[in-house]
Amino acid sequence: MPATPPPPNPPTPPRGRGTATVAWALLPLLVPGAGAPLALGIAAGRRPSARTVAPLVVYTAAFLGFFAFILPFDVGTTPDWALWSSFATLLVSTVGAAVHLLAIRRYVWAPRGAGPEPKPAPPPKPVPVGDWVAPALDQAARLREDARRLAEGDPSLAKRSGVGRPDQPRHLDDGGLVDLNHAPAAVLGDLPGFNAALAEQVRERVERLGPFQSLDEVIVEVGVAPGFERHLREYAVLIP
């Protein structure tokens, strides 16, 4: 079974917007601190979802955290831990935010009319047996009828085409016919009502007296059980 296809890539922003959207993604570096909330506020306005609103909250908190670590202390008295903490929050709200914005740029700036990604198609349902067996049987019956007409109208061509000879390479589909006059015993043994003994009996009779002329002759001489006569007439053919 085929595997589930990968989801399509997000739509590429139109070429005219390419440079502008990159500049938007770099706002945290161009405007350290305030650039991240500004860019993510634009993103949340265009695409209000968890992918834009949650980062807006996180990076705004990081921006405010910078001031929370610095403002409580006078200039020159800020402890090292506060300096390092403010530096970490500034780094997150600039470099981290820029990387994040570049990652969601195509999602944010995709055309507004673009809908959600299509769901993978469900696997095909199994076809009930009755839905295909009957048409296949009808097709095979038509092929057998066409092959019989060929055998009656042009026996030589039918023989060259392999009609009734599943033991030979086929040049056409005869629907499963078996030529009683030429097919080997191994093939004859698969016919309805036949067994290995009957198959050998048919082969010996043909070799001794020549080909059968009619199916009635086969049924009488070989002794096919009455219950299998109809099936034999369906699948047997006699090519001189």
Residue pLDDT, tens place only, 165-201? 888 887 777 777 888 888 888 888 878 777 888 888 8
Number of domains in the chain: 2
* Claim to verify: residue 104 and residue 138 sit in the same structural domain: no
Among 17-26, 38-47, 99-108, 124-133, the minimum mean pLDDT is found in 124-133
DSSP code of 178? E
* Claim to verify: residue 155 and residue 206 sit in the same structural domain: yes
* Claim to verify: residue 92 and residue 51 sit in the same structural domain: yes
What three-state secondary structure class fits 10? Answer: coil
* Claim to verify: residue 99 and residue 190 sit in the same structural domain: no
Give me 55's structure tokens: 């980062």
Q: Is the pLDDT at 11 greater than 60, yes or no? A: no
At residue 191's C-alpha, the angle toward residues 226 and 199, to 5°, is 90
Most confident of the following: 10-14, 75-79, 135-139:
135-139
* Claim to verify: residue 217 and residue 143 sit in the same structural domain: yes
Confidence of residue 16 (pLDDT cuts 50, 70, 90): very low
Confidence of residue 3 (pLDDT cuts 50, 70, 90): very low
Residue pLDDT, tens place only, 51-105? 788 877 887 777 776 666 666 766 667 677 766 776 777 777 777 777 878 888 8
* Claim to verify: residue 67 and residue 141 sit in the same structural domain: no
Secondary structure (DSSP) of 81-96: HHHHHHHHHHHIIIII
* Claim to verify: residue 102 and residue 158 sit in the same structural domain: no
* Claim to verify: residue 95 and residue 174 sit in the same structural domain: no
**pLDDT at position 185, please?**
85
Q: Is the pLDDT at 118 greater than 70, yes or no? A: no
Residue pLDDT, tens place only, 193-214? 778 888 888 888 888 888 888 8
* Amino acid identity at 145: E
Domain boundary residue among 73, 108, 143?
Answer: 108
Q: Give CA–CA dist 41/204, Å, rounded.
A: 94
Let me know if residue 76 belongs to a domain.
Answer: yes
Quote the domain boundaries for residue 20: 15-108
